Amino acid sequence: MHPCRILALLGALALVLTSACAPGGAERPSDAESSPDAQELERRRERERERLAEEKAEEVLAGMSTADKIGQLLVLTAEGTTAQDSADLVSRYRPGGLIYFPESLTGAEQIARMSNGLQRAAADHGAGVPLFLGIDQEQGMVSRLEIGTRFPDAMAVGATRDPDQAAALARVTAEELAALGINLDYAPDADVNSDPANPVIGIRSFGSDPDLVADLAAAEAEAFADAGVVPVVKHFPGHGDTAADSHTGLPVVDKTRREWEREDLPPFRRAVEADVDAVMTAHLVLPALDDSGEPATLSPRVVRDVLRGELGYDGMVTTDALNMEGVRQTHDDGEVAVRAVLAGVDQLLMPPDPQAAVDALRAAVEDGRISQDRLDASVRRILKVKAERGLFDAEPADVQAAAGALGTDDHRAAAAELAERSVTLLRNEGGALPAAEGATVSVTGTGAEEIGAELERLGLTVTADPAGADLAVVGTLNARGDAGQAALVASAAASGTPVAVVAQGNPYDIADLPDADAYLATYSAVDPSRAAAARVIAGEVAPSGRLPVDIPGTDLRFGDGLEY
């Protein structure tokens, strides 16, 4: 292509992307913006963005070697804390992306500088394709970035019932990630948590109602994309009804096709209809879709036939981490990489032995097991997403401004608002809550320091001894079946003081805590959720959250929630 044509293409793409990724893009549109004419204009812009991205993808693909193409399929774990520490990974494998973990993230300036250096290294090797720099930043319990604004877990968002709250979480998270040069987030989680004993999803899910999960996951994904960060909707075909953890084993979901379509599919169908950038597969077996025993990640019936064929998804598909035991039980690491691609996957996240993956993929291409067309299809999808999200002409992160973009007053206020609106009052016998003005409150258990500090700020007297207090607050975290936490609640109740439990994990604890007079669910152990619970206890904020799941062993159902 002529240099002038390339410059013109890049300029047009940048102009379109600028309008798509302007700050505030996730906010509710005005009446004028939602008029039929405005909607038609936006559809035209979207078609133009897609056309330009496709042209850019074809242009880059035409100049790539087989080694470059195979490299784009890999997302490797960043090493060390500088770009130089991962320089060998970039030069040797020319990966499509790197994923960050806490050990590589020490501060805002360091992260921004590392991101910039990694993108420069990628530009200097192979076809010079920019990297996806990704992270698991769902918020709440899955937050690899330990600086910046902390939001509650997804189930807290579910308790608000408000897509605008989901969008606010994603918008703030994306703005802070972008300030650090991070352009992809492995979020949101679109699993429907229908199994209270689920060991790996739980409060990472928005709830047990498929339509609610669909609404909130779609809102988050759209807000991430509007802010220029690639969202990855996970874990298809659904990880919410599993009793095993795919990090350590291979879960089997025993339900019929009709049950799956009713209970797990709706959030993913909504994501496909919205043309979401990326979908992540799960390492689990769903015999109703594929009775071969292969995990979904390696199953052509699940990825190629159902996700791509029946649902019509032509976006980027990524595996869950390939170092998880759920995908490593029947094949070696090289064969896992090949089978994932043959199943219809595009990107291989964290292959435990990158060289084995590359060697196996190269051999499969050379002997025709993976055709050149099949390889090109994956690379084309990857390049298209990179073009649509502006990676090819992205400015480096502003190292000096990075710290100031994190944890701003507006961002922290957004997290506090979500936390306050999520707190759900599920029991309040004898009007134990709110505490009287100036009351003495004992605070023990999980989060006692943070909850107590906020109560003191609000004018209550805080002590550790429930005897003689007006109210005993006990913080719990996934106390179901935990004798120690149950004993702490029982001990407080034995003092004769009314007891209020603040459950900061799964809300299912209430079935095992009959001694609690009052029970507040925050669905998260982050500081904003603990502060919100304290404000509800003090009567500063009225509880307004609604239960996003059913509670087995009780009469509490989806939608319940008391007020005062």
Q: Give catalytic residue positions.
A: 320
Cα distance between residue 393 and residue 397, in whole Å: 12
What crossing angle do the helices spanning 333-343 and 372-388 adopt, rounded to 10°? 80
DSSP 56: H
Residues 6 or more apart from 152 whose CB is under 8 A from it?
A: 139, 140, 415, 418, 419, 422, 522, 523, 524, 526, 528, 529
| H/E segment holding residue 491 | helix 483-494
Residues 6 or more apart from 474 whose CB is under 8 A from it?
A: 444, 445, 488, 489, 492, 499, 500, 501, 502, 516
Cα distance between residue 188 and residue 190, in whole Å: 6
The two tokens of residue 159 are 């308790």
DSSP 100: E
Q: Among 213, 186, 192, 218, which residue's Cα sits nearest to residue 320? A: 186
| H/E segment holding residue 138 | strand 137-139
Cα distance between residue 378 and residue 392, in whole Å: 18
Q: Can you say how many angstroms the Cα of residue 201 is from the centroid of all Cα atoms in its chain?
A: 11
Residues 6 or more apart from 481 whose CB is under 8 A from it?
A: 512
